[in-house]
Structure 1
Amino acid sequence: MEQRQALGAVLTKGGTAIVGPVGVGKTALLCAVAGRLDAARFDVVWTVATRASRQVPFGAFHGLLGGARDRLDETRAYGALHTELARRSGRRTPVLVIDDVHHLDDRCAALALGLAAEGRAKLMVAARGEPGAAMSDAVVALWKDGYLERLDVAQLGLAGTARLLHALVEGEVARGTVDLLHRWTGGNPLLLTQLVRHARASGRLGADGGLWWWRGPRTVPPGLAEVFDHELDGLTSGEQDALAAIALGEPLALPSVEAVACDAVEALEERGLVRTTDGGGGQILVRLASPLLAAAVHRKLPRLRRRRIAAALLAADTCPAPDPVVRARWQLEADGPVDTALLIRAAEAARGHDPELACRLARRALPGSSAAAVVLARALVESGDGAQARQVLERAGAEAATVSARLRAGIALAAHVCWVERDPAAAAADLAALGSRASSPAARGAVEGVRALVLLGGGRTSAALEAAERVLRTTVRGPGVAPARLARSVGLVLSGRTRNAVALAEATAADVDSPGELRELALALGCYAQVWGGGAGPALGEAGGGGADPVPGQGRDGAAAPGSGRLGVGGASPFLGVPSASHPASAFLDGLRYWALGDQQEAVARLREAVLRHSGGTRLLRTEATCRLAVCLAEAGRGEDAERALAACPPDAVGLVPGQEQWARAAVAAARGDVPAATAGLRAAAGTARREGCWAVAAECLTYAAWLAPAGPPTDLLDQLALAAGHIDAPRLLAGARAAFALARGSGTELLEHAVRLDGLGMRAPAWRLAERAVVVLRAHGRRHGDAVVLATRLRGGQGASAPPVRLDVLTARELEIASLAAAGLADRAISDRLDVSVRTVESHLARVYRKLGVRSRRDLPSVLRA
């Protein structure tokens, strides 16, 4: 589009001025437009203005004015320039291209303006349009006075960044990596291209499981380092100190910066190196203009200056106080006395997105602190060193000087056995033994609260609820209350009592911030409550924002800490934080929600990423992500891919949802066309869930089985579904179950009503199938079916090839017969001969089949009929 606009300005007007920040592709756009000009009509002449050329008389036009330029005044120089362009172009129209036109001195700018005003030559110029890019009034007049058409070239958005990354690596890039690199580069194509090329060569950007991921901290490629070094040239000592202070703690309150270097921020802002924003409460926050600039400043920061500035920042009386992680880093840099409690709190906050920093903080706080040992172990797990993490915990328990320290280390070790070593049964036994030795109610409550979570992770929902309720009955305060409340919340969601679960989670949301497993368990609760409860919540894929931008460490994807967005569920008030796009749970959350809306293609992409993200660390949702990915692949008719997904990352003993592996394998059987085996597997999955009191899971499995039944759901399955539905209050689950009963009854009007209800809840795929069935039934009974046709047509347009398994009973017997023959490869004439009908009859039947099944041609029939 930009090329067409610029080319049109050259052909029909005086030319174009391409304006934008460094690196957005202004020069490339000039080249592309110049390359599209007809050489028989236009003669293109290039020149580049530089800072050095400003110091030489008519320096930018050296090649056009020759060696006598230093003896020319403006009038003779203009004549010489015009004569040279005319000589070169002959009968063609001269096109003067000036790159970096903002560097023109006043005399060259006046010449360019004269050419544009006279109109004998076309001009194409590129100018830097951002703070700190001062330019001559004559240059601005080129577009301000209408001689040239101005074309502003902006940075890439998130979607544009994703497309460029895909082209650069020739593959799919993890969404968290896309978000990360977009945030670092601001969508600047030059910065992005240089960063990706350097990262691929250095191994910071690599492929894993079919996706490209960023690994390690922020880095500055050598080519970009030269650019940033050039920007930093000429700074005073005070400005260098101010820039270093901001790099060590951005966003930084203005008084903190001024405590290090007074009156330097204004000069830095004028040069475009920093920007200021309103921090609320009358505070002004200062940030660097680019996140990569922070890495460039860090690279050039001497150790002694870093130490001096960190000490000055600690001494400054800042209000509000900086983020705990930032202040803890200052303490490390200053190499002085430290606040152990602050370091532990900062290490826990940083371990998810920067485990290397978390390890440094925890080790500094470690001597004599069992709390620091626990956080260090968790950070080591995030770094991929589970064996060393276990050694740290065992050593902490052996060296503990107090009963409480031994208890803390023992609880952490049991949690490690569950989430990291994937043995919830052994962990539960260890905690039971630990609780039997506890000497106080508070200690027993602390053990039992974590045991409730461990039981939940082992799929023992009923036992987890009992343990959690014992803690909540006997303990009002203490470390066991938060995990007990959360275990009870997740148990309530799985049992289908989403309203009670949401109310309990709202009451305890503030307690979910510190212990490692609680945050992701809370997010898992949000995932299922969102899908089953039917709340609107934020837009799909929306990431929570807010907070400082941490410098990523060794964690996969350089993941930022969970954002502060909110998630609505079932019409209740918001209750849990939505993870940022780079949080391990965010991909699972998005995949589950896309699946609920029937968008298999996007659900598969997000769940595949979720499986990879849960290949390290605590891997809490690993089994859930794998099983749901297999279900989505199977529903999309990709049964072999689903089997490979289960084989590549087999479900293990840790899983919140009972029966989910049975469901996944049943979905694979359905994809193979083995409906009896699929139905049996779903019944078994429902039975597993029902034994643990997980009525929501049972209802979901039985509803799924009801949709698979070719002749309608059998009576005994409907009886089981009615029993499960009687225990739940989740709107989406209830709507799906009631739709299954409507299928069995076969009333066209009722089917249409349920289709409308499902559509209103965002369940487009089952709504489409109900609407299609309603059309068939109403038409067969001679009833009005226009509304059903309109709804089915609208919903079919949103399904495409990613629609879930198709109910073949939307087809008549003759339509199914013809569709099967067409899927087997028979031509229309061969089908007409076999069935003794006309070719036109075959064609009309196939047209109705395509419409009902939502496909475009006979090539799509085999996969749809298999599904």
Structure 2
Amino acid sequence: MPPTAWPFVGREPVVADVRSRLDGDRHVVITGAAGLGKTRVAQEIIDRYAASGTPVVRVVASPASAPVPLAPLAALVGDAIGIEAMNAARRSVAALARQGSSRPLLSVDDLHLLDEASAIVIHQLLTTGTVRVLATVRSSATCPPAVDRLRQSTGVDHVELGTMADADIADLVERALGGPLSGHARSVIITSAAGNPMYARELVEGSVAAGAMQRHGGVYGFEGRMVATPLLEEVVLARLAPFEGAERTALELLAVGGRLEQPLVERVAGFEPLERLERLGILVAEEHAGRLVLDVGHPLYRELTRARLGALARMRIYRTLAEVDAALANPSGTSTPDEQLRAAVWSIRGGLPVESVILTAAAHRAAATGNTPLAAELAHEASRRTGTTQDAMLASWCLSLDGDHDQAIAVLRTALRNETDPWTRAAVRLRIAEEHWWFGDLDSGRAVLDEAAAEPGPWDALREAQLSAHAALAGDVTESVRLGSPLMDHAHPWVRFVAAVGYCLGMIYGDGADEGLRAARALTESLAGTDVQPIGDPGQHHAIQVLGMVAAGELAAARDAADAAYAGAQLSPSQQARAWAAMLVGLVAELAGDLRSGARALAEAERLWTTVRVWGFAVWCGAALARAQAECGDLDEAATTLARVQAYPRPPQMLNGHLLDLASAWVAGAGGDRVAAAQHIAAAVRHSAAAGAVANEAEAWHEAARLGVLDLVDHLPDPRGWSRPRSALAAARFDLVQARLTGDPVAWERAASGFAAMGAHGYAAEAATGAAAAYRRAGSSRDAARLDGLAGTHLARTTALATPLVARRAATGPLTPREAEIARLAAGHLSNRQIAEQLVVSERTVENHLYRIFIKLAVTGRDDLAAALAATEQG
């Protein structure tokens, strides 16, 4: 259901400013464009004055009341007219003044719509000092003379209400939804609303009602294009309705063509219509690279204008753009790659002929800019026309990035039948195998590579490289290193590119993170200027480097790289690019202890990977999400996520498949089933050890220590045979496990230092908490206090951490940090919905937390919480 209650956000400075003026016996007119929230701000001010005992009169003007003199003032003047209306108004206000503690406040909404008689009465009340006036006026409106005189009166201040800050728009939407937005949804809403809260509200309500915006893993994202409510369409289209002829033509050109050079639009629509549209704010003109560029004045002008153009109308506009662009082209015939791409798109969509070589170049340019849906459209058309394997490879690659793996394989199979060059045939088979692997069919992928054995030659190296990558994706890191290592210095860049996937992942998840990271960086340098699009996604190696930084303990650098990629991907048309970016941010944020950001990004990544049917990564992200939710204390969300992820199709063996076992362990452990938790961890340890995945084995043992199940020796392998790994993160995990086994406070403190050095603040807080408890048991109260303070320092750099090791710190008593936070809010008389909005969780999560809080504190209701919390803190 669409949200029904929208909070008051981002306007407190305006409220404070207006109240200060009114308290100083000034009158205030709030001006601003439609939809900026003038009425909401005025209502907030009215409510606060009324709550303090100030008499308030609210007048609402409207187009319907404007023809009827004094209609908006009926509550003050009754049926009086002329001078009697003035006297009646004074009597009514005087009666109100006797009831309150201060001079009455008269609020007039949409002052510009007042009739002359009403404006005169209010003007008289204002000039005689009978009332303080607070009014709103639309900045673009034409006011009657009496209203203008009122506005220009002595003692009247004008306060301009500007657009809302991007962060406030996002906060408004998230609080209304009761859950966080995905990065992409946040960017789309901010861009589309352009600071207008009404636009944001109507876009969200329309999209939720139409199913275009949905909640997944606690995070709201778009499943399709935004949908405006009828009200928003009416408001925006009313603004555009007066324009016909050349003005309408110019608007449609910009709606379809995007930002356009002024000479191109002028050639079609003329100069005067453009000037008029600019004066009215319908279009904007800006200097860009020495040229004047035009665009629509608001993103919604484009969206709603395009939505009302039929297929033939759009084709006509594309054709016009292509023909005029050609007429204005540089006589020398030179143009930039972006100009060539634009011309090709306009021609194709306008039904005009395009040379195949231009079409292929345009497809490559679209791919290079990250617009893989457009690249797929152009490359597929080029492939149909030319029948070349090069075009087929590009088309399949772009189709794959958009999630259409079946069509990608069909295009490649057609190309393979016609191709004779052995190197190219090997590359095509490599791509077919990769497509099978993306959606979890490892056996079919291996079978395709086995086909190549019938055509031996130097190109076999490419097959061996892909087998290395295949082994890594299947979780067999020992085999991936064995196969990939001899090929890392191969002369052919395609071989090096693919071999590095298997080798670097094998080293990172084995026990050679530093070497894996070095090799990944060296590969990137060696491929500078080399086109590897036909055989792989360059984004893979960026992801591998981030994973290498994590394993090597370079969390700060990993987060910087992940955050930069995430920020750059949010408005990308490529869902797979956004999936890579969200996955990396989520994994790194969780390790750093920023569980709120981590859970949000992982939920976004999981949804995107399922959309493009890359099930292995969907399971990876979904399992990590379930664990993060459990670490936050949101057990119901974690259980729901785990059940969803367990239903995804997946191969029997996969890279990071142990995460599903670890997520199951967290859900079981948080629910009180320690034996089941230990059994899930044991499965993760055995699978990781068998595959040579030392990093994953260390992670599994670390989770056993964090969940406190190392004592269940009948259900776990013997950890005493496990030696300390070399890679930084795995080594720190080992130290924590040993500290938990021995109970030695110095070992606990050593583990805390190791995690702190790499920026893993959540793990450091857990280890420091364990050290404080161990020192306390040893009778060293000074060291216990020191480590407890250190734990608090690290906890302050985390979000929502509520794991067993930190749950019983002295500052929170028997409650987890999240439970303590919710208990304090509930004790402060906030409703479940208000708490959910403030913490950006579901109401159901709040209810379940309160249930556990009541049990832990032995209380029966919210009224008892304040006393119970005070007693706990004193204890």
Distance 1:187 1:96 in 2: 29
Match of 1:204 in 2: 212
Looking at structure 1, the residues matched to 465 and 68 of structure 2 have their Cα atoms a distance apart, in angstroms, of: 74
Pair 1:246 & 2:254 matched: yes
Q: Which amino acid aligns with 1:720?
A: W
Q: Which residue of 1 aligns with 2:507?
A: 492
1:154 is aligned to 2:163: yes
Percent identity of paired positions between Structure 1 and Structure 2 = 20
Q: Tell me, what secondary structure is at the counterpart of 1:125?
A: strand
Correspondence for 1:47: 61
Alpha-carbon offset, residue 191 of structure 1: 1.8
Separation in 2, partners of 1:521, 1:861: 50
User: Which residue of the partner structure matches residue 536 of structure 1?
Assistant: 556
Aligned: 1:424 with 2:442: yes
The equivalent of 1:309 in structure 2 is 321
Q: Shift of residue 458 of structure 1?
A: 1.9
Q: Distance in 2 between matches of 1:223 and 1:809?
A: 52
Whether the 8 Å contact between 1:195 and 1:220 is mirrored in structure 2 is yes
Q: 1:330 aligns with which of 346, 361, 366?
A: 346
**CA offsets 1:327-377 (integer angstroms, 9 cap, x no match):** 44322233222222135326646997747x844762365232444444555
Give the AA of the match of 2:134: M
Q: Write the distance in 1 (CA, Å) between the matches of 2:453 and 2:349.
A: 41
Are positions 1:621 and 2:617 aligned together? Answer: yes
Q: Per the alignment, in what secondary structure is the counterpart of residue 124 of structure 1? A: strand
- Please report how far the alpha carbon of residue 664 of structure 1 lies from its aligned counterpart in structure 2 after TM superposition: 4.2
SS of the equivalent of 1:309 reads helix
Aligned residue for 1:23, secondary structure, equals coil
Q: Matches of 1:256 and 1:232 in 2, distance apart? A: 22
Shift of 1:594: 3.1
Question: Contact 2:594/2:800 (CA < 8 Å) preserved in 1?
Answer: no
* Counterpart residue number, 2:27: 15
Paired residues for 1:223-238 under 5 Å: 223-233=231-241, 235=243
> What residue number does 1:839 align with?
none
Superimposed CA distance per residue, residues 545-603 of structure 1 (whole angstroms, 9 cap, x where no aligned partner): 888997xxxxxxxx6448xxxxxxxxxxxxxxxx97xx123332233223213344554
Q: For the structure 1 residues 180 and 324, does the alpha-carbon distance in structure 2 shift closer, same or farther, using more than 3 Å as the test?
A: farther
Q: How many angstroms does 1:391 deviate by?
A: 3.8
Q: What do the CA deviations read for 1:766-818 (whole angstroms, capped 9, x no partner)?
A: 3223323333444434463242232234445667873334289999xxxx9x9
- Provide closer, same or farther for how the CA distance between residues 64 and 747 of structure 1 changes in structure 2, counting only shifts above 3 A: closer
For residues 108-119 of structure 1, the aligned pairs below 5 Å read: 116=126, 119=129
Residue of structure 2 equivalent to 1:124? 134
Q: 1:296 aligns with which of 293, 300, 304?
A: 304
Write the mapping of 1:324-363 to structure 2, written as runs, cut at 5 A. Answer: 326-338=342-354, 339-345=358-364, 348=367, 354=373, 358-359=376-377, 362-363=380-381
**Is the partner of 1:474 in helix, strand or coil?**
coil
- 8 Å contact from structure 1 (residues 718, 741) kept in 2: no
Is the alpha carbon distance of 1:330 and 1:654 closer, same or farther for their aligned partners in structure 2, counting shifts above 3 Å?
Answer: farther
> How far has the Cα of 1:432 moved from its partner?
3.6
Is the 1:483–1:518 Cα contact (8 Å) retained in structure 2?
no
1:612 aligns with 2:607: yes
Whole-Å Cα distance in 1 between the matches of residues 234 and 806 of structure 2?
62
Residue 628 of structure 2 is matched in structure 1 by 632
- Whether the aligned pair in 2 keeps the contact of 1:46 and 1:96 (CA below 8 Å) is no
SS state of the match for residue 782, structure 2? coil
Q: Contact conserved, 1:457 with 1:656, CA < 8 A, in 2? A: yes
Which whole-Å deviations, capped at 9, do the CAs of 1:709-735 have from their partners, x for residues lacking one? 65699996355231xx23x2x4x4433
Q: How many residue pairs were aligned? A: 767
Equivalent-residue separation in structure 2 for 1:47 and 1:534 (angstroms): 62
40-49 or 491-500, which deviates more: 40-49
**In the aligned structure 2, how far is the partner of 1:108 from the partner of 1:316?**
57
Q: CA deviation at 1:488?
A: 3.5
| Structure-2 residue corresponding to 1:789 | 788
**1:720 maps to which of 711, 717, 722:** 722
Do the aligned partners of residues 662 and 512 (structure 1) sit closer, same or farther apart at CA in structure 2, a change above 3 Å counting?
farther
Aligned to 2:827: none
Which position in structure 1 is the counterpart of 2:839?
A: none
741, 759, 762: which one pairs with 1:762?
Answer: 759
Aligned to 2:865: none
What amino acid maps onto 2:449 in structure 1?
L
Aligned residue identity for 1:397: L
| Counterpart contact for 1:371–1:408, Cα < 8 Å | no
8 Å Cα contact 2:109-2:135 kept in structure 1? yes
How many angstroms apart in 1 are the aligned matches of 2:568 and 2:780?
Answer: 62
1:474 is aligned, of 484, 490, 495, to 490
TM-score by length of 2: 0.72
- Partner Cα separation in structure 2 for residue 117 and residue 742 of structure 1: 78
SS in 2 for 1:150: strand
Partner of 2:58: helix, strand, or coil? strand
Q: What is the identity, as a one-letter code, of the residue corresponding to 1:734?
A: A
Q: Output the CA distance in 2 between the equivalents of 1:856 and 1:511.
A: 58
- Per the normalisation by structure 1, the TM-score is 0.73
**1:748/1:195 Cα in 2 relative to 1: closer, same or farther (>3 Å)?**
closer
Contact kept, 8 Å, 2:432 with 2:448, in 1: the verdict is: no
Instruction: Tell me if 1:594 matches 2:614.
Output: no
Shift of 1:388: 4.7
- Structure 1: 5+ residue runs without aligned partners? 54-58, 67-76, 551-558, 563-578, 820-854, 863-867
Q: Do 1:256 and 1:317's aligned partners in 2 also have CA atoms closer than 8 Å? A: no
Cα 1:606/1:300, change in 2 over 3 Å: closer
Contact 1:659 1:689 in 2 (8 A): yes
Indicate the residue corresponding to 2:90 in structure 1: 86
1:654-733 to 2 correspondences below 5 Å: 655-657=654-656, 659-667=658-666, 670-671=669-670, 682=681, 685-686=684-685, 688-690=687-689, 692-707=691-706, 708=708, 717=719, 720-722=722-724, 725-726=725-726, 728=727, 730=728, 732-733=729-730
CA distance in 2, matches of 1:547, 1:598: 23
Could you tell which deviates more after superposition, 317-326 or 266-275?
317-326
Contact 1:418 1:427 in 2 (8 A): yes
Query: Conserved in 2, the CA contact under 8 Å of 1:323 and 1:548?
Result: no
- Kindly state the Cα deviation for residue 184 of structure 1 after the two structures are TM-superposed: 1.7
CA distances 1:66-107 after superposition (whole Å, capped 9, x unpaired): 9xxxxxxxxxx9989856743664644676554445689999
Question: Shift in Å at residue 758 of structure 1?
Answer: 2.7
Residue type of the partner of 1:431? L
* CA gap 1:119/1:217 in 2 versus in 1, 3 angstroms: same
Given that 2:434 and 2:445 are in contact with CA atoms closer than 8 Å, whether structure 1 keeps it comes out as: yes
Change (3 A) 1:179 1:632: same
**1:453 Cα offset (Å):** 3.0
Asked if the contact 2:394/2:534 (under 8 Å) is kept, the reply is no
Residue identity in the other structure for 2:58:
V
1:696, CA displacement in angstroms? 2.8
Partner SS state of residue 473, structure 1: coil
Secondary structure, counterpart of 2:805 in structure 1 = coil
Instruction: Write the distance in 2 (CA, Å) between the matches of 1:702 and 1:393.
Output: 44
**8 Å Cα contact 1:23/1:191 also seen in 2:** yes
Name the Cα RMSD after superposition.
Answer: 5.0
Contact 2:595 2:799 in 1 (8 A): no
Distance between the aligned counterparts of 2:149 and 2:793, measured in 1?
Answer: 51
